[in-house]
């Protein structure tokens, strides 16, 4: 009789947990997985995928305007919110089925249940069943954080925005991170009157300062009513909407208030601390470079560890876990030089150091280009693109690349390869330009910014 029911039991069916389960099962190990909501996790169900579909939808209003600048005659029309939401739901259903099918194909035993740990090798399921495993992997992800404010029961988070029955005419978005800024662009593009409050001095904390300023300016030009240094202190429901009192004493009224003020790891009630698993001040599971916790049989990957909360990172951590524990090939997850796209409008692509980070430890040169892309210039649209290279003077190594503008996410994926390989400014310079493209600016910037 086997000592354990499973060689590996995974708690959480998101990107990291699913990849770890599948890769482990392919080694011949017996794997079980429990998920209390839907397979696919935040990214597929209520994150990157439905958000990107909304980004696509929101871009057509501007595309219709631009078409006139190219000679097309057109008449505007309203966005059909219920049609889009219904079609989006069908696509998410399809993707969840793909995730489930792929797990079952590799032999992973699935449990539609919440799992909590009762000892280092035992998981109690909400169905009443108890399972044991030689190794347990916690991959439960994160959840939106909404602060406690008067009238807070009237707000929604990024979870609920995908399921609104009607498109709001007036929306307040509270927050200045990438989720808040992405939804500001989305809802503005769909025709909602968008106001955004951020209590800090500038949106997108942690990004390059010039990028932050550029995006804020472009968002305002597109019609987002962005206020920095402002927060709200209370919400009152009235017959005509939601009345908001601001920190500066002013009042405003909105139909929907979206709080996008960060996310927190979903560790509450899992039983981790009782077993000796260390959690940090934010509630994240503390792990070593191999994703192992202080309890040798328990590991954790993905957003629950709060290392780099991105889908591809969770997937890579899940693969590294399987390599380390089940293939005998110790593999730390590599969190250095992660290319990242932010689907603001215009979008951001970034990899490596910001200017502020780099100048703390390096003697640097900055190469920058700001310009109106050919498309926007011809369409008479006042939208500027920015590209920026941060270069270490002594070694000539490119420390960071920052792009703001159309297809920035697509570009940064490929630029990320060069930066990861240690490319120098001269490697960029001797690469032939592709003309006419916006991306050619990356290899044609000859002179550093003075000073």
- The CATH number of whichever domain residue 428 belongs to comes to 3.30.390.30
Look at residue 2 in the predicted model and tell me its pLDDT.
Answer: 67
Structure tokens belonging to residue 311: 């889908």
Look at residue 73 in the predicted model and tell me its pLDDT.
Answer: 84
**Catalytic one among 121, 163, 335, 435?**
435
Look at residue 123 in the predicted model and tell me its pLDDT.
Answer: 97
Per-residue buried b or exposed e for 115-150, using 16+ beta carbons within 10 Å of the residue's own CB: bbbeebbbbbbeeeeebbbbbbbbbbbbbbebeeee
What is the tally of structural domains in the chain?
3
Nearest-angstrom CA–CA distance, 282 and 279: 8
Structure tokens belonging to residue 60: 């057509």
Quick one: DSSP state of residue 183?
H
Q: Are 181 and 219 members of one domain?
A: yes
* Positions of the chain with pLDDT under 70: 1-2, 75-76
Nearest-angstrom CA–CA distance, 386 and 267: 40
Nearest to 406 by CA among 67, 69, 59: 59
Look at residue 253 in the predicted model and tell me its pLDDT.
Answer: 96
Report CA Rg, the chain: 24
Q: Are 277 and 296 members of one domain?
A: yes
Q: Are 344 and 426 members of one domain?
A: yes
Q: Are 132 and 15 members of one domain?
A: yes
Nearest to 357 by CA among 207, 214, 177, 203: 207
- The whole-model pTM stands at 0.94
Structure tokens belonging to residue 252: 């405003």
Nearest to 317 by CA among 15, 91, 56: 15
Q: Are 22 and 135 members of one domain?
A: yes
Give the containing element (helix H, strand E) for 18.
Answer: helix 15-25
Q: Are 268 and 138 members of one domain?
A: yes
At a CB cut-off of 8 Å and minimum separation 6, what does 360 contact?
none
Phi, psi of 351 (to 5 degrees): -150, 140
Q: Is the dihedral of CA 137, 139, 140, 144 positive or negative?
A: positive
Q: Are 348 and 397 members of one domain?
A: yes
CA contacts within 13 A on the Cβ side of 148 = 0
Look at residue 22 in the predicted model and tell me its pLDDT.
Answer: 97
What does each C-alpha distance from 336 to 20, 362, 421 come to in angstroms? 21, 17, 12
DSSP characters over 224-277: -EEEES--EEEEEEETTEEEEEETTS-EEEESEEEE---EEE--TTS-TGGGT-
Q: Which of 226, 241, 261 finishes a domain? A: 261
Nearest-angstrom CA–CA distance, 314 and 99: 15
Q: Are 138 and 30 members of one domain?
A: yes
What does each C-alpha distance from 228 to 173, 216, 263, 286 come to in angstroms? 12, 10, 20, 33
* Segments forming the whole domain that contains residue 214: 152-261
Within-domain flag for 197: yes
Look at residue 451 in the predicted model and tell me its pLDDT.
Answer: 80
Within-domain flag for 132: yes
435 is catalytic: yes
Q: Are 63 and 107 members of one domain?
A: yes
Q: Which residue has the tokens 């951001």?
A: 348
CA 165 to chain centroid, in Å, comes to: 24
Give the containing element (helix H, strand E) for 132.
Answer: strand 130-138
Within-domain flag for 335: no
Within-domain flag for 344: yes
What does each C-alpha distance from 111 to 2, 41, 221, 241, 422 come to in angstroms? 20, 15, 49, 42, 44
- The CATH number of whichever domain residue 269 belongs to comes to 3.50.50.60
Q: Are 252 and 273 members of one domain?
A: no
Q: Which of 281, 298, 326 finishes a domain? A: 326
Quick one: DSSP state of residue 195?
E
Nearest-angstrom CA–CA distance, 325 and 275: 21
CA 18 to chain centroid, in Å, comes to: 18
Q: Which of 304, 326, 348 finishes a domain? A: 326
Within-domain flag for 448: no
């Amino acid at each position: 009789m086997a000592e354990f029911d499973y060689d590996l039991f995974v708690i959480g069916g998101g990107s990291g947990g699913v990849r770890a389960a599948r890769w482990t099962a392919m080694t011949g190990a017996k794997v079980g997985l429990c998920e209390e909501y839907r397979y696919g996790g935040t990214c597929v169900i209520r994150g990157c995928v439905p958000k990107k579909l909304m980004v696509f939808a929101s871009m057509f209003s501007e595309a219709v305007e631009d078409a006139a600048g190219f000679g097309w005659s057109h008449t505007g029309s309203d966005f059909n919110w219920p049609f889009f939401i219904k079609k989006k739901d069908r696509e998410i259903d399809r993707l969840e089925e793909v995730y489930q099918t792929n797990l079952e194909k590799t032999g992973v035993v699935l449990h539609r249940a919440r799992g909590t740990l009762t000892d280092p090798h035992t998981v109690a399921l909400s169905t009443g069943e108890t399972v044991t495993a030689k190794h347990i992997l916690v991959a439960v992800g994160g959840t939106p954080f909404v602060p406690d404010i008067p009238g807070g029961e009237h707000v929604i988070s990024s979870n609920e925005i995908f399921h609104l029955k009607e498109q709001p005419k007036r929306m307040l978005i509270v927050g200045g991170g990438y989720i808040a800024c992405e939804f500001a662009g989305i809802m503005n593009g769909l025709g909602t009157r968008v106001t955004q409050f951020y209590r800090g001095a500038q949106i997108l904390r942690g990004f390059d300062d010039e990028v932050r300023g550029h995006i804020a300016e472009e968002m305002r030009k597109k019609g987002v009513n962005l206020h920095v240094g402002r927060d709200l202190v209370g919400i009152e429901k009235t017959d005509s909407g939601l009345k908001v009192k601001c920190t500066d004493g002013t009042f405003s009224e909105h139909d929907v208030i979206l709080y996008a003020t960060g996310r927190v790891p979903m560790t509450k009630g899992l039983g981790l601390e009782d077993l000796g698993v260390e959690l940090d001040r934010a509630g994240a599971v503390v792990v070593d470079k191999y994703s192992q916790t202080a309890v040798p049989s328990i590991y954790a990957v993905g957003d629950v560890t709060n290392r780099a909360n991105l889908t591809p990172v969770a997937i890579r951590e899940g693969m590294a876990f399987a390599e380390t524990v089940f293939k005998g090939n110790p593999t730390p997850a590599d969190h250095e030089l992660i290319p990242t796209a932010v689907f603001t409008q215009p979008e951001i692509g970034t990899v490596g150091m910001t200017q502020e980070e780099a100048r703390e430890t390096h003697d640097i040169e900055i190469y920058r280009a700001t310009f109106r892309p050919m498309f926007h210039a011809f369409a008479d649209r006042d939208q500027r693109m920015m590209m920026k290279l941060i270069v270490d003077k002594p070694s000539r190594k490119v420390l960071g690349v920052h792009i703001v503008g159309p297809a920035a996410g697509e570009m940064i994926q490929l630029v990320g390869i060069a930066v990861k390989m240690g490319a120098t400014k001269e490697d960029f310079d001797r690469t032939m330009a592709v003309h006419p493209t916006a991306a050619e600016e990356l290899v044609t910037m000859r002179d550093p910014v003075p000073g």
